[in-house]
Amino acid sequence: MFKKRLAERIKYINHLLEQKFDFTLKESFLADREKADWAATNSELDELWRLRLKNDALNMTLAGKEWKEYTGIIIKTLS
């Protein structure tokens, strides 16, 4: 079951990384999720991952990294 879920997440992450994030939208990400509720549905889990990746991408952008460099780092981390 773990491997199946991991494969689903990796597939979703790769899908998200096919396009750049829109940083003009007003969204927030709670990085410390220790006290947060677990995602109840796949849709909620997808949204958490989207926001996490967007947050990471924003931090990389602010650090002067290019989109292609960022996606390469994320994909390498998942491999």
For residue 61, being part of any structural domain is answered with yes
Structural domain total, the chain: 1
Query: Which pLDDT tens digit goes with each residue over 13-57?
Result: 989 999 999 999 999 999 999 999 999 999 999 999 999 999 989
pTM: 0.85
For residue 19, being part of any structural domain is answered with no
The residue range of the domain holding 48 is 41-79
Please, which pLDDT band fits residue 74 given cuts at 50, 70 and 90?
confident
Residue 48 and residue 54: Cα distance in Å, rounded? Answer: 10
Q: Is 64 left (phi over 0), alpha (psi -120 to 50) or beta?
A: left
**DSSP string of the chain?**
-HHHHHHHHHHHHHHHTTS---TTS-----S--TTSPPP-SHHHHHHHHHHHHHHHHHHHHHTT--HHHHHHHHHHHH-
Please, which pLDDT band fits residue 58 given cuts at 50, 70 and 90?
very high
For residue 49, being part of any structural domain is answered with yes
For residue 47, being part of any structural domain is answered with yes
